[in-house]
Homo-oligomer: A and B are copies of this chain.
Amino acid sequence: MAATPRGAGDRSRSAQQPAAQAERRADARRNIRAILDAAQVCLARDADASVADIAKAAGVGRVTLYGHFKTRADLVDAVLTRTMEQSDAALDAIDTAGDPRQALTRLVGASWQIVHQLHSVLQAAQRELPPERIRAVHDRTLHRVQTIIDRGRGSGAFRDDLPARWLVTTAFSLMHAAAEDTAAGRLDADDAARVVSATLLAALTAPGSAVPTPAL
């Protein structure tokens, strides 16, 4: 038989998960994991790694890969989704209560490594997937930041003179910039979290107020 025991593309539109994993055989599940792992690594290194590269890295035949992911886009989508879910899980552990400034600092500390890793995968996704899909995947993370910022605005900790949306953008933008600078060797990885937090906290401070000292 062919390599497609169960349709991987039966979902209305852009399919994600390779169908119900639970029902497939053990070796299939194992391979799917291996493929996703390999894809994550390969795409992180090179945003347009070929399907062949990924299959090889997963120690799997190309045909097998296509058996589980109908198209390259499907695979990328699956990797992105999975990475974001992992991130969300990790970020769920962060305490976002208390002083918004401290909460944000904690969030940045926990996020920035993830962003670093995600960065290249995201690039791959942006070339392959429709913008709304990218947006959708980011939704939870976006809200997380949004919530803290909103709370900070309410308590007067953060500035109120700029669109809330923009402040969220600022946070993401700085994280990605730090990731890129680190990758390019222009920023010390151990220093990055501190640098980003310090910059972001200042950026969020209302005109007229004093910028909080990093050693808060």
Q: Is the CB of B163 within 8 A of A169?
A: no
A187 and B163 contact, Cβ closer than 8 Å, known pairs A170-B174, A174-B170, A207-B202: yes
Q: Is the CB of B207 within 8 A of A209?
A: no
**How many copies make up the complex?**
2
User: Cα distance A79–B166 when bound, in Å?
Assistant: 31
Using a CB-CB cutoff of 8 Å, which residues 155-193 of chain A contact chain B? 159, 161-163, 165-166, 169-170, 172-174, 176-178, 181, 184, 186-187, 191
Q: Which residue, A174, A178, A186, A207, has most C-beta atoms of chain B within 10 A?
A: A207
Chain A interface SS verdict (over half): helix
Q: Does A52 contact B (CB under 8 A)?
A: no
A173 and B162 contact, Cβ closer than 8 Å, known pairs A198-B207, A202-B202, A211-B202: no
Q: Which of B161, B174, B178, B199 contacts A198 (CB 8 A)?
A: B161
Q: Quick one: closest B residue to A210, CB to CB?
A: B210
What total of chain A residues lie within 8 Å of the partner, measured CB to CB?
37
The 0/1 profile, CB within 8 Å of B marked 1, for residues 190-216 of chain A is 010001001110111111111111100
A170 and B186 contact, Cβ closer than 8 Å, known pairs A211-B206, A212-B207, A214-B207: no
User: Cα distance A177–B177 when bound, in Å?
Assistant: 10
Q: Which of B169, B181, B187, B207 contacts A181 (CB 8 A)?
A: B169
Q: Is the CB of A195 within 8 A of B210?
A: no
Q: Which of B173, B206, B209 contacts A174 (CB 8 A)?
A: B173
Q: Is the CB of A170 within 8 A of B187?
A: no
Q: Is the CB of B181 within 8 A of A214?
A: no
What chain B residues lie within 8 Å of A209 (beta carbons)?
A: 210-211
User: Cα distance A165–B195 when bound, in Å?
Assistant: 11
A-B contact pairs, 5 of them (CB 8 A): A161-B198, A166-B195, A207-B210, A208-B213, A209-B210
